[in-house]
Amino acid sequence: MPHSRRYRSSERSSRGSYRERYRSRKHKRRRTRSRSSSSARERRRRREASYHVRSRSYDDHSSDRRAYDRRYCDGYRRNDYSRERGDAYYDAEYHHSYEYRRSRDHDGSYRSCKSSRRNKHRRRRRRSRSFSRSSSQRSRQSSRRAKSVEDDDEGHLIYRVGDWLQERYEIISTLGEGTFGRVVHCVDHRRAGTRVALKIIKNVEKYKEAARLEINVLEKINEKDPENKNLCVQMFDWFDYHGHMCISFELLGLSTFDFLKDNNYLPYPIHQVRHMAYQACQAVKFLHDNKLTHTDLKPENILFVNSDYELTYNLEKKRDERSVKSTAIRVVDFGSATFDHEHHSTIVSTRHYRAPEVILELGWSQPCDVWSIGCIVFEYYVGFTLFQTHDNREHLAMMERILGPIPSRMIRKTRKQKYFYHGRLDWDENTSAGRYVRENCKPLRRYLTSEAEDHHHLFDLIESMLEYEPSKRITLAEALKHPFFDTLNTEPSTKVWDSSRDISR
C-alpha cells in the first residue's frame, strides 16, 4: 500500500540542525527576553530532545522487528533465512521510516510551540502552511491509491474480473486459492494476448519472503533451461504490486491430485502411471543435477499441461469415468526448494510424502525427493495415499508394516529415541491406533492389482525408491533406466508432449 513521505535519519538530523541555527540567529538579534520566553524555549528544547530519544528507540525496535520477521518467515519456509537472496528484496528503510512517522504523530510537530512575537508567529505560520500543503497533497494521492488497491482481512488482494495489473495483466477468472494467496487466469497484453497463470501472494511478510525465495529458484531454472525442456513450470515475469509479490507462469491444467479427486479417486491406468512417473523423475533429476532439492513433492505440485479428458460410462459401477487425454506434466511450487550449499532445516515435505530420515532427524539431501516420488507413483497406481497419518510414531509403524523393520543403524543414530525401546519401534498393536495400522496397511506387494510383468516392474521401482537407507535408495538417473520404462516409447498414448504447442485457452 502507498505511504506518505518518509524521512531518512540523516534528513531528520538536518532538519533539527536547521531549527537550531534558526533559533540561534533570532537569539543574536534579540538579546533581551522575558523570563516566560526563556522558560518556553527550555520546554521546547526538552520536548524536541525527548522526541529524538523516542525516535531512536523506535528505530532500535524496528531492527528487532526485522529480525523477527525473518525468523517468522523461516518457520513458514522451514529454512534459515538466506542473506544472499533475501537482502536484495528487503527494503531496509521501510520499518525505519514507518516508525519515524509514528513517533512524529505521537509526540507532536515542532510547529506546535507558540511565539510571543507577531512576526515570529507569521514566519512560523508561513513555513507551516507550505509544509502542510505538500503533506496534504501527498495524503490525497495516497488516499486515491488506497481506494484503488485494497486487501481483505487475510491479506489477499481484492480484485474483480476485468481488472488490470501493471497495465499488462487483465484478470479473467480465479483458478485457485491457498494459504499463500490466489492464482488467477490472466491475459498478458504484452505477450500478444497469451493466457497466463498469475500467482498473487498475500500482503503478509512470511509469504512474501517465501515468494522471493521461489523467484530466485525459478530464475535459476530459467537460466539453466531456457527452452523449458526439463518439465519444470516456466516463470515468465514477476513484480511487486502494492505489497503483493506476483509471479506469472505458463498456464497449465489441473494438478494430478485434483484430477484424481474429481474422478472419484479412480487410479490412473498403468501406461499413464508409467509416463507420469518418467516425467517426474526427469524433472526432479534436472533439479538434482543443478544442486537443488525440491523438498515438497506431492500430487498437488505436479500439474497436467492440459487436463482435458474423455468421458466414459462404467455400467458396472454406474458412474462416469474420466481419462486424461495427455499425460504431459510440469513440476511446480519451488517455494521450499533448497540448494545444496544452503542450510537444511530439520523438517521438510508434506507429511504423507516425508522420508524416514526426515522423521528421525538424521539429516536429509536429494534422496528425500526420491522417497516422495515413490509415494506419489504408488498413489497414482492405487488411487489413495500410502501413508495416511498425521503422527510420527504411527507413520513409522506404517512403514514397518508395509516395508519391513527400520534398519538398526538408523535407530541407533537417531535423536528420536522416544519412538524406540530396546532397539525396536515402541508400538503396541493392541491399541486402537495399532489395530488401525494393522487393518489398513499391508506389505507393499499385496497392493498389486495384476500379476502382469509391467505391474511387478512398477512395484520393483517403488520398492527401490522406498528404501529406508538414503545411501541405498535408487537415484533418479538409475530410475530412468529401470525396466519399467522400457516400453515407454512403444505406447502411442505416452507420446512426448510438443512443448512448442500453444497452451493458451
Q: Are residues 465 and 430 in the same domain?
A: yes
Across 349-362, average pLDDT:
97
Q: Are residues 226 and 362 in the same domain?
A: no
Among 223, 249, 275, the domain-final residue is 249
CATH no. for residue 168?
A: 3.30.200.20
Q: Are residues 473 and 402 in the same domain?
A: yes
Q: Are residues 462 and 382 in the same domain?
A: yes
At residue 168, the pLDDT reads: 95
Active site residue 151: no
CATH no. for residue 287?
A: 1.10.510.10
Across 456-479, average pLDDT:
98
- How many domains are there within the chain? 2
**Domain range for 293:** 252-490
Bridge partners, residue 250, by sequence: 196
pLDDT: is 90 or 279 the higher one? 279
Q: Are residues 358 and 326 in the same domain?
A: yes
Q: Are residues 306 and 215 in the same domain?
A: no
Across 163-180, average pLDDT:
93
pLDDT over 70 at 139, yes or no? no
Q: Point out the catalytic residue in the list 74, 188, 296, 333.
A: 296
Q: Are residues 173 and 258 in the same domain?
A: no
Q: Give 491's pLDDT tier (boundaries 50, 70, 90).
A: low
At residue 45, the pLDDT reads: 56
At residue 293, the pLDDT reads: 97
At residue 151, the pLDDT reads: 87
pLDDT over 90 at 246, yes or no? yes
**What are the residues whose beta carbons fall under 8 Å from the beta carbon of 50, sequence distance 6 or more?**
107
At residue 178, the pLDDT reads: 85
Find, among 382, 257, 253, 272, the residue nearest to 323 by Cα: 272
pLDDT over 50 at 87, yes or no? no
pLDDT digits (tens, 9 = 90+) for 24-64: 444 444 444 445 555 556 655 555 444 443 333 333 333 33
Q: Give 488's pLDDT tier (boundaries 50, 70, 90).
A: confident
pLDDT digits (tens, 9 = 90+) for 337-346: 999 999 999 9
Q: Are residues 211 and 269 in the same domain?
A: no
At residue 37, the pLDDT reads: 53
Q: Are residues 235 and 286 in the same domain?
A: no
Among 200, 229, 249, the domain-final residue is 249
CA distance linking residue 495 with residue 489, whole number of Å: 7
**Residues 388, 436 contacting (CB under 8 angstroms):** no
> One-letter amino acid identity for 458?
L
At residue 381, the pLDDT reads: 98
**Bind-site residues:** 199
**Bind-site residues for ATP:** 199
At residue 328, the pLDDT reads: 97
pLDDT over 50 at 106, yes or no? no
**What are the residues whose beta carbons fall under 8 Å from the beta carbon of 151, sequence distance 6 or more?**
1, 157, 158, 202, 203, 243, 244
